Amino acid sequence: MTDMLGPGDAFPDIAMTAPDGSTLRPSDFAGRKLVVFFYPKDDTPGCTTENKDFSALSAEFAAAGAALLGVSKDPPKKHAKFIEKHGLAAPLASDAEEGGLSDALGIWTEKSMYGRSYMGMLRTTYLVGPDGRILRVWDKVKVKGHAQEVLQAVREG
């Protein structure tokens, strides 16, 4: 496993896929702050809540000068259905490629449940500065109140 990157490190500019099939890179958001929230899976209770919370605050993030981007390994078509089903405002990207962004960040890792090991996404949020450097990292995210806490950090700095 790669060591997780932290504040001051350059955020990797690795291509992902948008729900419409186009390519999306963190550098597409250069010049403004970017909140990238990684979550395990579309349409699961915690992930749905997290996406809805960020979407509900999307106008406030924009007013504070930050773009939002939700990322999971789910395929683009699944993201499109997830966005439509829940009326999500925060853009989503698919990081399905081996060696993709979550691998580079060290947050695609071995997890275990009920004695079974599997690869999974660590729920992690990054605040990236306009210069592409990481300003703050939230790891082991608890969904309740998280989007509000991130918004507060964007406003403060």
Q: Report the alpha-carbon distance of residue 35 to residue 46 in Å, rounded.
A: 18
Q: What six digits make up the tokens of 58?
A: 């999307």
Please provide residue 72's backbone torsions phi and psi, each rounded to the nearest 5 degrees: -145, 180
Catalytic residue among 16, 34, 35, 47: 47
**Element of type H or E holding 66:** strand 66-72
Give the DSSP H/E element, type plus range, for residue 102: helix 101-105
Query: C-alpha distances in angstroms, 130 versus 3, 67, 105, 127?
Result: 23, 10, 19, 10
User: Is there a catalytic annotation at residue 47?
Assistant: yes
Q: Give the sign of the dihedral formed by CA 151, CA 21, CA 9, CA 144.
A: positive
Annotated catalytic sites, by residue?
47
